[in-house]
Amino acid sequence: MRVGVIADVHANLVALEAVLADMPAVDRVVCLGDVVGYNPWPGECVDRVRDVAAVTVEGNHDRTVGTPERYRANEMARAGLELARERLDDDQRAWLDRLPERATVGDGRVLAVHSHPAPAHRDRYVYPAQFAEAASHAGDVAALLLGHTHVQHAATHDDVLVCNPGSVGQPRDGDPRAAYAVLDVNGAGAGETADDVAVDLRRVEYDVERVRDAVADAGLPARTGDRLLRGE
């Protein structure tokens, strides 16, 4: 089974459409959360993810649309959530509210979460240096899929393939191209592997200037668009 893995769309419809256009044929799409936030198309991205993803887990921005003041120390995050609260309709908000914190695919062999797999560490950033520790909390699975850091990376620890597909809508690893991954649960294909599970990390260019213009038109902070040019 081939699985397209996306994460941290953050209301960037242009990047999302570029990823979906570039994605090879897959059996299903899994979204690791943070569909909304930061960028100017929250409703459109909710609808698109609902349409294409068989599984979506809840991200911290998805969970806090109704309480953007919790990000008062981060102007970009707060402004993006305020825009989402204003623009999402009741049905879109209800869908976000129903998202689970975790899900499994591939007959339970693959665990999908937004951040750390241990419930006690929800919203903890898991950078590549912490992949081994996160794998130890994943349970009896062949692969752990997570997002949240916006840093694309995959590595195997104790026979668990840990993969962050990177961010579709706001990469932070120095590469401005939209990021995603393709997971092969049967182990066919190239890339990092573990227990007959393989992953291909992929990047695709998109029209960043169009997003910057839309950010300005929506009255969002200028840095929200500017940082996309630098992948930060």
- Mean pLDDT, the chain, as a whole number? 95
**Nearest residue to 8 via CA among 180, 168, 203:** 168
How many beta carbons lie within 10 A of that of residue 78, not counting itself? Answer: 18
Cα–Cα dist 108/49, whole Å: 22
| pLDDT tier for residue 174 given thresholds of 50, 70 and 90 | very high
Query: Do 40 and 217 contact (CB within 8 A), yes or no?
Result: yes
**Contacts with 218 (C-beta within 8 Å, 6 or more apart), sequence order:** 40, 83
**Nearest residue to 77 via CA among 16, 123, 19, 130:** 123
Reported as a single tens digit per residue, the pLDDT across 15-36 is 999 999 999 999 999 999 999 9
> What pLDDT does residue 192 have?
52
Question: What's the number of domains the chain is made of?
Answer: 1
Give this prediction's pTM.
Answer: 0.94
Reported as a single tens digit per residue, the pLDDT across 66-119 is 999 999 999 999 999 999 999 999 999 999 999 999 999 988 999 999 999 999
The SS3 of residue 76 is helix
How many beta carbons lie within 10 A of that of residue 230, not counting itself? Answer: 12
What are the backbone angles phi and psi of residue 197, rounded to the nearest 5°? -120, 130
E strands present in the chain: 2-6, 28-31, 55-56, 102-105, 110-113, 143-145, 153-157, 160-164, 178-184, 192-194, 197-204
Tokens at 216, concatenated: 């300005």
Q: Which domain covers residue 80, as residue numbers?
A: 2-230
Q: Give the DSSP H or E segment for 94.
A: helix 90-98
Q: Are strands 160-164 and 153-157 parallel, antiparallel or unpaired?
A: antiparallel
Q: In what order do the strands lie in the sheet with 197-204?
A: 55-56, 28-31, 2-6, 178-184, 197-204, 192-194
Tokens at 23, concatenated: 């994605």
**Nearest residue to 97 via CA among 88, 107, 105:** 88
> 212-215 long-range CB contacts below 8 Å, 24 or more apart?
214/14, 214/39, 214/40, 214/41, 215/39, 215/40
Which CATH number fits the domain that encloses residue 160? 3.60.21.10
> What pLDDT does residue 187 have?
54
Report the helix count and the strand count for the chain, using DSSP H and E: 8, 11
